[in-house]
Amino acid sequence: MTAYTPDEMMTVAAARRLPNGATCFVGIGLPSAACNLARLTHAPDLVLIYESGTIGTRPTVLPLSIGDGELADTALSVIPLPEVFTHYLQRGRVDIGFLSAAQVDRFGNLNSTVIGAYDAPTVRLPGAGGAPEIATNVRDLLIVMKQSRRNFMARLDFRTTVGWLDGKDSRARAGIAGNGPRAVITDLGVLTPAEGSRELTLSGIFQGITVDDVRAACGWPLRVADTVVSIVPPSDDELRTLRALHDRTRVAHGHRVRIALPT
């Protein structure tokens, strides 16, 4: 067995959640790595959609931005921003949304707007982007983010994106469609919403991590499922594919750009 990092385990565990043939709206960063790993391993027919309007894209390197030329060059088609959010997302043609954020709470609501008060923030974060509508217009939502007490919060500073809202049936009562968050994959394990309460509950754990480790890295008293599954470490194929993807990406992002000016 090859040694691996917690980040690699997180990306692999996230990738495994994506079924072959699904249509997936991809957030940048960790979700993008997981989605492309899935496509390059068990899910070759995964349809990836980025908010830049690149439909069915099959990049050979990970994009740095959501709109790198690599995504357009390898896409089935490239469509305008309003069309991807209305005809594809709002129309309900996307199975899975895959997001990350700065903060998450016990019901899978996300903050990517501010730390502190909105009008006088300690940290101004980038903001919503496509997340609020991805979370409410896809069938199933997946979330991937590293876990610590600083970002797994009892109370969000700002609710940018809705998960299970206040738990139980509050999401449905608010008239919000979709199945809501199905899992939060972290660098320690996997949290899934409990039946009924919809509270995120530790249901899977990475090897070498204890339940106490996960509890210590959570800002609310974390519930633990009756059965916590031990998640299978990355296979040699998964690790090799992920590392090769990151290697190709590093090389590509280091390329110098030259522009030929007319003489």
Partner 1 sequence: MTKPAFLPLRDAMAHHVHDGMSVALEGFTHLIPFAAGHELIRQGRRELTLVRATPDIIYDQMIGMGCASTLVFSWGGNPGVGSLHRLRDAVEHGWPCPLALDEHSHAGMAARYAAGASGLPFGVLRAYAGTDLPLVNKSHIATIKCPFTGEQLAAVPALTPDVTVLHAQTADREGNVLLHGIVGASREAAQAARALVVTVEAVVDRLDAPMNAFVIPAWQVAAIAVVPGGAYPSYAHGVYARDNAFYQAWDDIARDRDRFMEWMRTHVLATATHADFLRLLGVAA
Q: List interacting residues with partner 1 (CB under 8 A).
A: 28-29, 51-54, 63-69, 71-72, 78, 80-82, 85-86, 89-90, 113, 118-119, 121-133, 136-137, 158-162, 165, 171, 174-177, 252-262
Q: Which is nearer to partner 1, 56 or 132 (CB)?
A: 132
Rank residues 114 and 190 by Cβ distance to partner 1 and give the closer one: 114
Which single residue is written with the structure tokens 């068990």?
42
Spell 185-209 as b/e; 16+ CB within 10 A means b: bbbbbbbbbeeeebbbbbbbbbeeb
Catalytic residue of the set 8, 51, 70, 199: 51
Chain-centroid distance, C-alpha 24: 11
Closest by CA position to 230, among listed 9, 34, 40: 9
Measured CA angle at 107 (ends 156, 8), to 5 deg:
90
Q: How far is the CB of 94 from partner 1 (least distance, A)?
A: 13
Indicate the residue among 16 and 198 with the shorter CB distance to partner 1. 198
> Cβ of residue 198: shortest distance to partner 1, in angstroms?
13
CB of 234 to partner 1, least distance (A): 24
CA atoms within 13 A on the CB side of 180: 25
Q: C-beta of 168: minimal distance to partner 1 in Å?
A: 14
Q: Are strands 110-111 and 114-116 parallel, antiparallel or unpaired?
A: unpaired
User: Two tokens at 103?
Assistant: 């903060």
Catalytic annotation present for 51? yes
3 state DSSP class of 242: helix
Q: Return the number of the residue (15 or 30) whose C-beta is nearest partner 1.
A: 30
Partner residues linked to 190 by β-bridges:
185, 204
The closest alpha carbon to 160, from 226, 210, 103, belongs to: 103
Please tell me the distance from the alpha carbon of residue 13 to that of residue 77, in angstroms, as a whole number: 29
Q: Which is nearer to partner 1, 4 or 158 (by Cβ)?
A: 158
Q: How far is CA 2 from the centre of its chain?
A: 25
CB of 106 to partner 1, least distance (A): 15
Residues forming the active site: 51
